[in-house]
Amino acid sequence: MEEDSTGFQYPILLPTESDLYIPEEEKQSSNNTAYALPSQDIRTQDTYGLTERQAHLFMIYVHKLAPLSDACDDARHFALEVPRLALQQPMIMNGLLAIASRYDNLDNDLESTFYHSKCIELLINAFTNPPETWDTTLLIAVVIARLYEENDNETDSYYHHLNGTQNLLNHQVISRFVMQGGLAEAASWVHLRQAIYVYVARRKPVEICLENFERSTVFRRYDDSAYANRAVYIFAKIMKLLLPMSGSLDAMGGWEAVEREVDGWYEGRPLSFKPIYYRKAAVHDQRPFPAICYTASVPVIAMQHYYAAKAVLCLHKRNTEMEHDITVALSAEKKISGYLCTLMGLALSNEHAGNAFYLPAHMLSLCGHCIQNTCEREHTIRYLRRVDEVIKWKTSLIIDTLQTEWGQVDQMNLLT
């Protein structure tokens, strides 16, 4: 066992000679002292001092978890800059080790809880300082703390920091972050995605000041990342209309305007947002999801937000017409089901974009009850189990909820 400066112990498992792959020619020449290389030991003071376990967790974050945050960012700020920042900032380092530990060991949360608690302790202290001192380090730490809780989505801790970090999203400091560009701007958009996903899954009123994001460079740039984040922004506007705060006006003009915005976004999408391969869904062949393949992650996430927006527009129409025109309402439900299948098809067709598995699951929490076809339902359950396998995000609660809702829908259909 090895003990770090915090007093926490980690088992050190050193590789044996049998674990190493050595080509035969190297084995034969290893006894030839004429070609022996001089020892090149690295002095302890020349390293960052991580234990072997900590280094393992750090690399898990860099190679497996950071790409999930970089889903709408071709510059890969979370993979390239956040690790460097973590080596200088204990608040971020503890956060990274926490989420990597949770990803690496789902059966025991002792280690991950230890690091997460350290991160939160430093985060709370940072929030006590005046807002003008809040910087990129604080924003990154908030994002990472939320990532940790997203992976604990089947307990109340998933929402523990929702209220605590909401002030940051609604504070004018966000305007400063999004105008800075670089890591600060990228982290702001990740934070917005996190908050929106929670509201979608919980069906709670959206408390986000989107005006803080309107100064972002994404509205002046034309690269793929910027266009993808515009889709996130539009989706956030739609969710604010669907789940308004108490006393907010649900103006029909707002829905019509945002629907035009969604259609305009689709018509103006870059060429890179068109798939390299498409195959229609075929329920009769047990293929309820379309195949839609892209070469990069950013277009996948962007198109998912487009189809999620279309689904929510239909959900609003369904809710509005349910008491007036049942035919229109049922037609809207069928369209919603189609959009949900498209969302799942995008994820399954592009497993290189790990983040793509999240939004369909959240949307299933919101309106998965609209899926009526037996084949689509069966494959939806398979999809949710695949989510657990690919990104280790728990889905058993969503599965149970959907099956209950579908049973209730079927019972009502029998009575009508």
Greater pLDDT, 157 or 294: 294
Residue 310 has pLDDT above 90, yes or no: yes
For 89, the 3-state DSSP assignment is coil
The pLDDT of 197-204, averaged and rounded, is 84
pLDDT for the residue numbered 297: 96
Q: Is the dihedral of CA 272, 276, 281, 287 positive or negative?
A: negative
Give the β-pairing of 9-10 and 277-279: unpaired
C-beta atoms surrounding 132 within 10 Å: 8
| Dist CA 145 CA 92 (whole Å) | 9
Write down the number of H helices and E strands in the chain. 17, 4
pLDDT of residue 70: 96
Q: Is the dihedral of CA 119, 178, 209, 346 positive or negative?
A: negative
How far apart CA 252 and CA 258 sit, in angstroms, is 10
What pLDDT shows up at residue 15?
A: 36
Q: Tell whether the model's pLDDT for residue 378 goes beyond 70.
A: yes
- The Cα–Cα gap between 147 and 121 comes to 16
**With 50 as the cut, is the pLDDT of residue 132 above it?**
yes
This prediction has a pTM of 0.85
Which residue pairs from 12-15 have beta carbons closer than 8 angstroms and sit at least 24 positions apart in sequence?
12/51, 12/52, 12/53, 13/52, 14/52
CB 305 within 8 A of CB 359: yes
Residue 269 three-state SS: coil
Beta pairing partners, 186 = none
pLDDT tier at 339, thresholds 50, 70, 90: very high
Q: Are strands 291-293 and 277-279 parallel, antiparallel or unpaired?
A: antiparallel
Q: If you average pLDDT over residues 87-112, what whole number do you get?
A: 92
**Average pLDDT of 93-121?**
92
Where does the pLDDT of residue 41 fall: very low under 50, low under 70, confident under 90, or very high at 90 and above?
Answer: low
Asked whether residue 195 carries a pLDDT value surpassing 90, the answer given is no
pLDDT tens, 53-66? 999 999 999 999 99
Residue 301, CB half-sphere, CA atoms under 13 Å: how many? 29
Of the pLDDT bands very low, low, confident and very high (cuts 50, 70, 90), residue 324 is confident
Indicate the burial class of 95 (C-beta count within 10 angstroms; 0-12, 13-18, 19 or more).
buried
**DSSP state for residue 3 in the 8-state scheme:** E
pLDDT band at 169 (very low <50, low <70, confident <90, very high): low
Residue found under tokens 């809780």: 149
* Angle, CA of 257, 364 and 152, to the nearest 5°: 115
Average pLDDT over residues 366-374: 96
User: SS3 of 181, please?
Assistant: coil
pLDDT-wise least confident of 202-206, 250-254, 291-295: 250-254
Whether the pLDDT of residue 25 is over 80: the answer is no
Q: What's the pLDDT score for residue 168?
A: 64
Mind listing the pLDDT tens digit for each residue in 219-272? Answer: 999 899 999 999 999 999 999 999 887 655 556 679 999 999 999 999 999 999
What values do phi and psi take at 2, rounded to 5? -120, 140
Mean pLDDT, the chain, as a whole number?
Answer: 85
Domain regions of the chain by residue span = 1-15+49-220, 252-416
79 φ/ψ angles, rounded to the nearest 5 degrees? -85, -30
φ and ψ of 292, to 5 deg: -135, 105
23 has pLDDT over 60 = no
pLDDT > 70: percent of the chain: 82
Q: How far apart are CA 160 and CA 165, in angstroms?
A: 9
* pLDDT for residue 20: 34
Does residue 52 have a pLDDT over 90?
Answer: yes
Which of 215, 256, 261 lies closest to 236 in space, CA to CA? 261
